[in-house]
Structure 1
Amino acid sequence: MANDIMDRNNLMRNWFNNDSWMNGVPSIFDNNFPEDSNLKTDIKETDKDYEVHVDMPAFDKKNIDINYENDVLTVSGHRDSFNNHNDKNGDMIMSERSSGRFMRQYHLPAVDQENIQASYDKGVLQITLPKLEDKKDSGHHVDID
Structure 2
Amino acid sequence: MTNEIMDRNNLMRNWFNNDSWTNNFPSIFDNNFPEDSTLKTDIKETDKNYEVHVDMPAFDKKNIDINYENNVLTISGHRDSFNDHSDKNGDMIMSERSSGRLMRQYHLPAVDTKNIKANYDNGVLMIDLPKLEKKVDSGHHIDID
Q: Specify the code of the residue in structure 2 equivalent to 1:38.
A: T
Q: Specify the code of the residue in structure 1 equivalent to 2:141.
A: H
* C-alpha displacement of 1:88: 2.2
Which is further off, 117-126 or 73-82? 73-82
Query: In the alignment, what sits opposite 1:107?
Result: 107
Relative contact order (C-alpha < 8 Å, sep 6+): which is higher? 2
Query: In the alignment, what sits opposite 1:87?
Result: 87
Deviation string for 1:36-66 (max 9, x for gaps)?
7311111111111111011111111111110
Whether 1:26 aligns to 2:32 is no
Count of residues in Structure 1 that have an aligned counterpart in Structure 2? 121
Structure 1, unmatched stretches of 5+, are 1-16
Query: In the alignment, what sits opposite 2:69?
Result: 69
SS in 2 for 1:90: coil
Structure 2, unmatched stretches of 5+, are 1-17, 25-29
* C-alpha displacement of 1:82: 3.2
* C-alpha displacement of 1:87: 3.0
Structure of higher CA gyration radius: 1
Query: In the alignment, what sits opposite 2:56?
Result: 56
CA distance in structure 1 between the partners assigned to 2:39 and 2:138 by the alignment: 43
* Greater percentage in helix: 1
CA distance in structure 1 between the partners assigned to 2:89 and 2:35 by the alignment: 28
Please report the TM-score for the alignment, with normalisation by the length of structure 2.
0.73
CA distance in structure 2 between the partners assigned to 1:135 and 1:37 by the alignment: 41
CA distance in structure 2 between the partners assigned to 1:60 and 1:80 by the alignment: 9
**Superposition RMSD on alpha carbons, in Å?**
2.4
Query: In the alignment, what sits opposite 1:12?
Result: none
Over 6 Å off, 4+ runs: none
Query: In the alignment, what sits opposite 1:3?
Result: none
SS in 2 for 1:76: strand
Q: Specify the code of the residue in structure 2 equivalent to 1:26.
A: N
